[in-house]
Homo-oligomer: A and B are copies of this chain.
Amino acid sequence: MSKTVILFGELMIRLNTEGFSRFVQADRFNIYYTGAEANAGAALAGWGYEARLVSRVPTHDLGQACVNYMRRYGLDTRFVQRAGEKLGILYVENGASQRQSKVIYDRGGSAFATFSDEALDWNDVFRGARWLHFSGTAPALAPRLVPVLKRACAAAKSNGVTIGCDLNFRRKLWSQEEAGRVMTELMEFIDVLICNEEDAGMVFGIKARGDSVTSGHLDRDGYGDVARQLQERFGLSHVAITLRESLSATMNNWSALLYTKTECVFGKKYAIHIVDRVGGGDSFAAGLIYGLCEGWDTARVVDFAVAASCLKHTIPGDFNLVTLDEVKTLMAGDGSGRIQR
């Protein structure tokens, strides 16, 4: 069975203040490279899959540094184009306790927004592939990417590739209306959708029905209802909804549900002491792709995806640098954090 996953999306530099330093007092940035899809790909590469990036970075040295970073963590960069002058930036300041983390985007006019498939045969990209993953930030960046994405999806379909999408709505990149319109068009290609309940409401206007909703927080039935509506409206094979309870910037509860036509399974809930939560959702996507490609049952898939992404929250940077063994140990119930020696 093919273990090749195609990831289409932007690659960026992430500049992170040190420790808990705020932007206004920072004198140093730690450098990471990132991208919603690349983040998922890095986890998959670490678990032995082939993760093939389709993207574009500038020709200058930071573009090369970005490619180097991707290669370092095992991503295949042969379809990363080199053109343009601007590498998108994510400035990040880590929150703590009652203080929120902050992200400043500087992505306008980035090389990726000029991505072109003119000289690209999508069949080369998808040959032997199993899965195409992208997130809602890709079309959000530039309208010109929407037809590109459609061509990619069509080629994927014709190569028998499963298509998954992480809704990933970012208010700073586009409006609810645009997102709703474009994402609805793209949904026709999608097999597996990942989102949280809030984004489902904002982008598709889907909210839990009837009396299943208690004020403020949805109960389990409410979340299941949102998943069901998504599944039905778009004819999806799977809908995954991530469930984050932000108790503070330091402590989060984290879980997810996975909905198929026949089941709605909730994963184990983890109380996480957060080191770095950026990329948490992307690492969930990786876990989901992995589990579904492995052909596991629904419960195992969601447990794997939640456990994997739980561990991501303890690792600096966007990449989920954990081994399969580490995820499986946690799934097996050992979250004790004892020393391995």
Task: Give residues in A with beta carbon < 8 Å to B.
Answer: 15, 19-31, 60-62, 64-65, 68-69, 71-74, 85-87, 89, 91, 93, 95-106, 108-109, 170-172, 246-251, 270, 272-278, 310-311, 313-317, 319, 321-322, 326, 329-330, 335-341
Contact = CB atoms under 8 A, between A and B. Distances in A.
A337 B28 contact: no
B28 A61 contact: no
Contacts of A71: 71-72, 74
A246 to B, nearest CB: 4
Contacts of A98: 270, 272, 310-311, 314, 330, 335, 337
A290 B255 CA distance: 41
Task: Work out how many copies of this chain go into the complex.
Answer: 6
Contacts of A277: 339
Contacts of A275: 20, 96-97
Nearest to A108: B109
Given A25-B321, A89-B89, A98-B311, 8 more contacts: A24-B65, A25-B317, A96-B275, A97-B335, A98-B314, A100-B336, A171-B341, A277-B339
Contacts of A171: 341
A68 B71 CA distance: 8
29 contacts: A20-B315, A24-B64, A25-B317, A27-B31, A28-B30, A28-B31, A29-B29, A61-B104, A62-B104, A68-B72, A69-B72, A71-B71, A85-B108, A86-B106, A86-B108, A89-B89, A89-B106, A96-B275, A97-B275, A98-B335, A99-B311, A99-B315, A99-B337, A100-B329, A100-B337, A103-B341, A170-B341, A172-B341, A248-B335
